[in-house]
Structure 1
Amino acid sequence: MSIPSQPVPPSWKDLGKAASDLLGKDYPIHGSTLEVKTKTPNNVTFRVLGMRDSKTDKINGDLEAKWADKKSGTTLTQAWSTSNVLRNHVELENHIAKGLKLELITTLIPDKQSKNAVVASTYKQPGVHTRQHLDLFKGPTVTADAVLGRDGFLLGGEASYDVKDGKLSKYNLAAGFHAPEYAVTLHALGNLSLYTASYYHRVNPDIETSARATYDTKGPASAVNLEVGTKTYLDNAAFVKAKINNAGILCLGYTQALRPGVKASLGLALDTVKLSDSNGANAHKVGASMVFEA
């Protein structure tokens, strides 16, 4: 009898992604953003992102060009920000072996004569997903993570080793169970000092829910932070999101596809503890984002 093939598990950074996306994305509450994406016939994608911070009124921008050749598995990304940060990212996938991706990420800040370079690799096969990267200028530090998966059960770990000091600088663990309609994930982060438990549930095709509990052993005794949220599809072109935490912060989000390639989002955050406070207006936040894609 043949053993059914296991799917490729998510990477370490994507463990609990469904819950994190539901609780974190589509709430543009910190200001206004405008994102424009265009693609040329020769597979070059341009992305322009502008952000205005409502707290500081500072405007930041980012210009990115990305070229991808799917046949050869080669991708080149170059970006330049208004902070005068130059980024280059080269990806080579399936060149040496199937399932292996090699990356080189460099950053340069000319004004400060600051530079950094990271060499990374990713290897994924049915039942296993591993990543490694070497930070050449910081440490140097080697970071590796791995996720093993079987029949929906996931087990992962991450560790960083400081070559100069000759010791582990970071280690984390995670475990979970992922199914098409729901997922449960447990994390032990910060060298096993910060614990999080999250779940995601697609109740039906129109409603999704999620919750996350966080306990910091270095924080106040018996202090557990709880956040719960939901996402409801109004139709094929619009959805609303809402979440609230135990500190009384209520966030609302509304996203509408105006036409193919054009999407608008509105976000609102209310401090429900200060609704009747005359000075509470500064605790509330509102923002918007617009995305154009062609």
Structure 2
Amino acid sequence: MSLPQPVPPSWKDLGKSSNDLLGKDYYFSGQSLEVKTNTPSGVAFKVAGTKDSKSQAIFGDIEAKYSDRKNGLTFTQAWTTSNVLRSVVELENQIAKGLKLDLNTSLNPEKNDKSGVVTAIYKQSGLHGRAVLDLLKGPTFTADTVLGRDGLLLGAEAAYNVTAGKVTRYAAAVGYNAPEYAVTIHGINNLNTFTASYYHRINTDVEAGAKAIYDTKATQGGVALEVGGKAYLDKTAFVKGKINHAGVIALGYTQALRPGVKASFGIALDTVKLSEEAPAGPVHKVGAHFVFES
């Protein structure tokens, strides 16, 4: 008798280990700040702000999130400095076990720009499926699913324009997840772009990963390649580094200063243009990110 299969990752989380290793904790595009607080009544508040190093523009938002775990209900309301109101209502494991429903809406009163998206996610042993209906754009129906067995993952995605009556986008993926490593291959953009990612947890303190992208429609040939690693200095700090095929090196350092306070610093250097400065601004980038949480 075979053991029950775990729930596989969602379609958007295929290759997540490699994507997080190469994409997160590199704060070199400006300065940003997050403040998070939680109340005894189950309401979580988050205030976030970012100052872009190129345009010097400041963006921010304030978010309140209420969770009723007993009834599987979550309500999130956010308001941004661009005067956009975002609301998310989530209901999980109430209609059926493993089923999650959510309604995501946004409204910009000044531009009369609005959106409404309904999502249904279904998770069971060896299966992770999702159906998304964009009520105002198209409308468009998107479905994706991932099947998993003994570490092997197979996934597919397709988008259907209801008004035009045709499939507008499709993609497929195959991968393998093990406790220490993961490999994923995607065929996206109607199988015109292919990506391959690899992640390896070498030991408890060191991680490594790589990602390659090949676009069959690109005007310039070749494969875009990026490799990187992460090393924990101790329980409170880690460093990250990566380099891509264009010779851009990025470094990141994150330090937990005390419980609830974390600081991150990043720098990106273009090794091809070490002494140059672009007309639109500096070639090299430096930034910082601070998180306060209680």
Asked if Structure 1 and Structure 2 have the same fold, meaning a TM-score greater than 0.5 normalized by the shorter chain, the answer is: yes
Q: Aligned residues: percent identity?
A: 62
Q: What is the aligned partner in structure 2 of residue 186 from structure 1?
A: 185
Q: Which amino acid aligns with 2:101?
A: L
Secondary structure of the corresponding residue to residue 110 of structure 2: helix
Q: Tell me whether 1:84 sits opposite 2:83 in the alignment.
A: yes
Between the two proteins, the alignment pairs up a number of residues equal to 293
Q: What is the aligned partner in structure 2 of residue 201 from structure 1?
A: 200
CA spacing shift, 1:40–1:274, aligned 2, 3 Å? same
Q: What is the aligned partner in structure 2 of residue 113 from structure 1?
A: 112
Q: What is the aligned partner in structure 1 of residue 253 from structure 2?
A: 254
Q: What is the aligned partner in structure 2 of residue 291 from structure 1?
A: 291
Structure 2: 5+ residue stretches without partners: none
Cα pair 2:120 2:132 within 8 Å, conserved: yes
Shift of 1:32: 0.5
Aligned ranges for residues 230-249 of structure 1 at < 5 Å?
230-249=229-248
Q: What is the aligned partner in structure 1 of residue 217 from structure 2?
A: 218
RMSD value, Cα? 1.1
Distance 2:211 2:2 in 1: 35
Distance 1:206 1:289 in 2: 23
Q: What is the aligned partner in structure 2 of residue 270 from structure 1?
A: 269
Secondary structure of the corresponding residue to residue 251 of structure 2: strand
Q: What is the aligned partner in structure 1 of residue 157 from structure 2?
A: 158
Q: What is the aligned partner in structure 2 of residue 98 from structure 1?
A: 97
Shift of 1:59: 0.1
Structure 1: 5+ residue stretches without partners: none
Distance 1:132 1:276 in 2: 50
TM-score, scaled relative to structure 1 = 0.98
Secondary structure of the corresponding residue to residue 10 of structure 1: coil
Q: Which amino acid aligns with 2:81?
A: T
Distance 1:49 1:278 in 2: 30
TM-score, scaled relative to structure 2 = 0.98
Structure 1: which 4+ aligned runs deviate by more than 3 Å? 276-281
Q: Tell me whether 1:146 sits opposite 2:145 in the alignment.
A: yes
Cα pair 2:276 2:283 within 8 Å, conserved: no
Secondary structure of the corresponding residue to residue 282 of structure 2: helix
Q: Which amino acid aligns with 2:285?
A: K
Distance 1:42 1:230 in 2: 40
Distance 1:232 1:188 in 2: 31
Distance 2:101 2:64 in 1: 20
Q: Which amino acid aligns with 2:89?
A: V
Shift of 1:215: 0.3
Shift of 1:276: 3.7
Distance 1:238 1:138 in 2: 44
Secondary structure of the corresponding residue to residue 111 of structure 1: coil
Secondary structure of the corresponding residue to residue 2 of structure 2: coil
Shift of 1:277: 3.5
Encode CA deviations 1:114-138: one digit per residue, 9 max, x unaligned. 2111111000001000001100000
Secondary structure of the corresponding residue to residue 21 of structure 1: helix
Q: What is the aligned partner in structure 2 of residue 57 from structure 1?
A: 56
